[in-house]
Amino acid sequence: MVAGGNISGTGINPGYTYRVHTALSGAAGITVGQPIPAAGSDISAGSPDVTVPATATPPAVIEDPNNPGRRTIIVTPVAPDTEYKLVDAAGNEVYDYVAPISGKVEFTDLDPNVNYTVVPRRSGDTLTAPPNSAGVVVNTGTLTPACNAEKG
């Protein structure tokens, strides 16, 4: 945990749900990411489940430069050790999971005025990937102002 109560580190990925416990400093037998010891008065009961947001900021939507009248969704910044897929409103996969390139993920040649969902997963996780509902919905009808779309 870092100052301000923010939790960070490897093993904490977007889209996954966690239960957060707190421990007094110096509590024995506590290791981040490991099961909570059965006996331990120095440990809180835990929070309700907390899902890490799919993206740190809303993905940008731009006119697709290679396909006039079409849209591109850009995810940036991206989380370390995370891949992203794109599904439509019916849950159909539009793009399979892809790894970021140059600090961003781009989904191209998309229909305008459509809701898509960007879904993250831990890189290579084929067993416990988050459900589509853990993603962030992006509507391609609203273009992102150029100054925000060029962050990546």
Kindly tell me if the per-residue pLDDT of 151 is higher than 70. Answer: no
Q: What integer pLDDT is reported at residue 129 of this predicted model?
A: 81
Q: What integer pLDDT is reported at residue 20 of this predicted model?
A: 73
Q: What integer pLDDT is reported at residue 19 of this predicted model?
A: 73
Distance CA 14, CA 130 (A): 9
pTM of structure? 0.77
Distance CA 87, CA 130 (A): 13
Q: Is 138 exposed, middle or buried, given 0-12, 13-18 or 19+ CB atoms closer than 10 A?
A: buried
What is the tens place of the pLDDT at every residue in 6-63?
A: 556 667 788 888 777 777 777 776 666 677 666 656 666 666 777 888 888 999 999 9
Q: What integer pLDDT is reported at residue 92 of this predicted model?
A: 95
Question: pLDDT-derived band of residue 3, with 50, 70 and 90 as boundaries?
Answer: very low
Beta strands in 11-114 (DSSP E): 17-18, 50-51, 60-63, 71-75, 82-88, 93-98, 105-110
Q: What integer pLDDT is reported at residue 9 of this predicted model?
A: 62
Q: What integer pLDDT is reported at residue 1 of this predicted model?
A: 44
What is the tens place of the pLDDT at every residue in 117-144?
A: 999 999 988 888 888 888 999 999 999 9
